Amino acid sequence: MKSSGIVSLALSLSVLIFSCGKKEEVPSPKIGLIAEKAMVVSAREEASQIGLKILQKGGNAFDAMMATEMALAVTFPFAGNLGGGGFMVYRMADGSTGSIDYREKAPMAASKDMFLDENGDFLSQLSTKGALASGVPGTIAGIFEAQSKFGKLKPSEILQPVIDLAKNGFVVTAAQADRLKRNRETFIDVNGPHTFFAREIRAGDTLKIPVLAATLERIAKNGRDEFYTGETAKILARYIQEKGGIITEADLASYQAVWRDPIIYPYRDLKIISMAPPSSGGVTLVQILKMLEPYDLQALGHHSPEYIQLLVEAERRAYADRNYYLGDPDFVKIPVNELLDTEYLKSRMSNFSFEKATRSSEISQGNISFAESMETTHYSIVDAEGNAVSVTTTLNGAYGSKVYIDELGFFMNNEMDDFSAKPGVPNMFGLIGAAANSIAPGKRMLSSMTPTIVEKDGKLWIVVGTPGGSTIITSVLQTILNVAEFGMGMQQAVESPRFHHQWLPDLVNFEPNSFDSTLISTLKARGYLINEANSPIIGKVDAILVLPDGRLEGGADPRGDDKAAGF
């Protein structure tokens, strides 16, 4: 389908079904945007369109990554960023794979107990709000590293449409206006009454950010060094220190993105390619899939009590391991092979029974745990050559630390909260960490980001990922299973309701009003503790599926303003 203008095929057609002589209307599954050759799916239509424009100009997926990531920083400051970090997993058209880690790092002046008071109590405000909460940003290093290695266009050419977008403005959506309003007092509290986002912003307003356009212009001219050693670095370090933070110019100058081998494991006839530590995403996703593999999921039925039990029990066990064993591989030894060993994972499930829930108090890390945010963002890209990138990037919390550098036009992350500031005490996502993820100077904090690519029969099949803090892994899992086990299309798989369990707290979270009450009662009777009332949106998945005829179907999550664009 030709399409740049077509946002979605999302058919609202219904099929008529005749049963027992009665006519019932069953909505037909949603179908996402279908494109012949190339696609970008992201949290904002403008970002997807700019990525697409770069692809149409002859750029490849890595060029489009730079454009999409920076367009999200302009139009989606909630999570899109220059002041944060992320992870990218790629698969080239020839089947070669790799990944880049541009996760933030603890500043050199950071220390293990920096968020504890004199009694050793955790001061969670300090790790979530204000300048001390920020790690050294990695985003600009990451996009330049990836683009310079694999891209085809000049960064200045790629960044020009983003600079124009920041100068000319974008239209604020209703959800965005609401989020900005809810956070306005905090922006003022952290940055003073004259900060850019102190203004009242309404849905439908056109928001121009000329200061960010100027920062991007300098980066387009001077490259990544502008951010790490240039004028931008000086302004950033000065503002952070004025606000009581500890990031120095030396911290910025020494930041490097790191190429890492992805986690690659088979699941049935598929190959899962996902992010390795310091993200827990790949290890935990594969652990869960391997625990599920011995079971016939199709026979259990989609969203049957037994299917939900099985996923929850596998998740419980995998998250207990995550929180104990995982951290920055440059600082701690992570037993990846042991954690992914088939016999080990079989033994982890040996005490599971469909009769009754296991209690999380009965499960600890296996003999051989961790932390993160809802306010991340993910985009998936496939270019016309067949190269794919799966990218998840974040400021951690909504608008990160809320520190907004007015001279530069962007927010800083609060990623220091993803460390385990005090073993055994939950972070903002209720995740409980251990020594492997304790704070140390120059260390990367553990993440849940799970940018993932799935191959089938040796060919590119799915590009997927999502925001959602601790729920990222389980949302990616369910999306893959929806397609692989239950034959859903990409949009349908993305829209399907989701549930989540993370070992502690020992609760199964369901998207509100999305699951049948009989199902919930059955699970309660089997001993599951359910949270439906206070369960936020679980992930916003943006994904691409390669259809049997080689065309692409986008899955853009309607839980956000997400959109696919393709040609």
Binding site for ligand GLY (CB under 6 A): 372-373, 376, 394, 396, 415, 418, 447-449, 469
Asked whether the beta carbons of 60 and 151 are under 8 A apart, the reply is yes
Q: Output the DSSP codes for 416-467.
A: GGGS-SSTTSB-TTS-B--GGG---TTPBPPB----EEEEETTEEEEEE---
Q: How far apart are CA 163 and CA 304, in angstroms?
A: 49
Q: What span, in angstroms and rounded, lies between the C-alpha atoms of 54 and 161? A: 9
Cα separation, 90 vs 274, in Å, equals: 9
Nearest-10 crossing angle of helices 210-222, 61-75: 150
Beta strand ranges found along 298-384 (DSSP E): 376-382
Comparison of 357 and 473: residue with beta carbon closer to ligand GLY:
473
Give whichever of 418 and 557 is closer to ligand GLY, judged by the CB atom.
418
Counting every residue, how long is the chain?
Answer: 567
Q: Are 232 and 259 in contact (CB under 8 A)?
A: no
Task: Rank residues 151 and 277 by Cβ distance to ligand GLY and give the closer one.
Answer: 277
Best CA proximity match to 407, nearest among 215, 134, 220: 215
Residue 508 CB neighbours (<10 A): 24
* Beta-bridge mates of residue 555: 543
Q: Indicate the residue among 257 and 449 with the shorter CB distance to ligand GLY.
A: 449
Q: How far is the CB of 451 from ligand GLY (least distance, A)?
A: 11
Q: How far is the CB of 202 from ligand GLY (least distance, A)?
A: 29
Shortest distance (Å) from residue 448 CB to ligand GLY: 4
DSSP of 21-52: TEEEEEEPPP---EESS-EEEESSHHHHHHHH
Query: Is 380 marked within a binding site?
Result: no
Token representation of residue 55: 């692809």
Q: How far is the CB of 397 from ligand GLY (least distance, A)?
A: 8
For 333-344, give the secondary structure using H, E and C.
CCCHHHHCCHHH
Q: How far is the CB of 401 from ligand GLY (least distance, A)?
A: 12
Is 215 or 475 the residue whose CB approaches ligand GLY more closely? 475
Residues 6+ apart with CB under 8 A from 531: 507, 508, 509, 510
Distance, CA of 272 to CA of 264 (rounded, Å): 6
User: What is the separation of C-alpha 290 from the centre of its chain, rounded to a whole number of angstroms?
Assistant: 22
Q: Residues 206, 176: contact at Cβ < 8 Å? A: no
d(CA 237, CA 510): 42
Q: Is 396 annotated as a binding residue?
A: yes
Residue 447 vs 491, nearer CB to ligand GLY: 447
448 is in an annotated binding site: yes
Q: Between residues 429 and 461, which has the closer beta carbon with respect to ligand GLY?
A: 429
Active site residue 479: no
527 labeled binding residue: no
Q: Specify whether the CB–CB gap between 413 and 373 falls below 8 A.
A: no
First to last CA, the chain: 7
Residue 240 identity:
I
In 3D space, the residue among 281, 252, 562, 537 whose CA is nearest the CA of residue 412 turns out to be 252
CB of 418 to ligand GLY, least distance (A): 5
Q: Is 427 marked as binding a ligand?
A: no
| 438 labelled ligand-binding | no
| Whether the Cβ atoms of residue 166 and residue 213 lie closer than 8 Å to each other | yes
Compute the least distance from the CB of residue 282 to ligand GLY, in Å: 13
| Residue 301, both tokens | 């039925």
Is 418 known as a binding-site position?
yes
Closer of 92 and 472 to ligand GLY (Cβ) = 472
Residue 270: helix, strand or coil by DSSP?
Answer: strand
- In the complex, the smallest distance separating the C-beta of residue 215 from ligand GLY, rounded to whole angstroms, is 23
Beta-bridge partners for 379: 391
Q: Which residues pair with 499 in a beta bridge?
A: 510
**474 annotated ligand binder:** no
Question: Which residue in 376, 393, 452, 471 is the catalytic one?
Answer: 376
Environment class of 441 (CB within 10 Å of its CB; exposed 0-12, middle 13-18, buried 19+): middle
* Nearer CB in complex with ligand GLY: 139/394: 394
**Which residue numbers belong to the known binding site?**
103, 394-396, 418, 447-448, 469
**Which residue numbers belong to the known binding site for L-glutamate?**
103, 394-396, 418, 447-448, 469
Residues with a catalytic annotation lie at 376
